[in-house]
Homo-oligomer: A and B are copies of this chain.
């Protein structure tokens, strides 16, 4: 008489939401490029746009996205805003994935 009494424990709604949101942030090439650049050095908006050949507007929109998820933060210096990484854990996920993609 054999039976699997182990009941599968579903992920709760909140965890599911947070996890999916986190990965969604990392699922777009433009956001990945921005995060990867900020992982190297703090940058202002125009520097990001120049370095990655993106429109200023595009960068700004994506930074808002990343800022809402608290993945990046910024400091102001006059009219210039310097952005940097604000979530090391997510950067760890990103770097692991990059490493894996390259060596696999």
Contact = CB atoms under 8 A, between A and B. Distances in A.
Interface in A50-74: 51-52
Given A16-B32, A24-B27, A27-B20, A97 B101 contact: no
Given A27-B27, A51-B8, A96-B93, A19 B33 contact: no
Q: Looking at chain A, what size class is its interface with the partner chain?
A: 35 or more
- Copy number of this protein in the oligomer? 2
Interface in A23-59: 23-24, 26-29, 32-33, 36-37, 40-41, 51-52
Contacts of A97: 19, 22-23, 93
Interface of A: 6, 8, 10-11, 14-20, 22-24, 26-29, 32-33, 36-37, 40-41, 51-52, 89, 92-94, 96-98, 100-102, 104
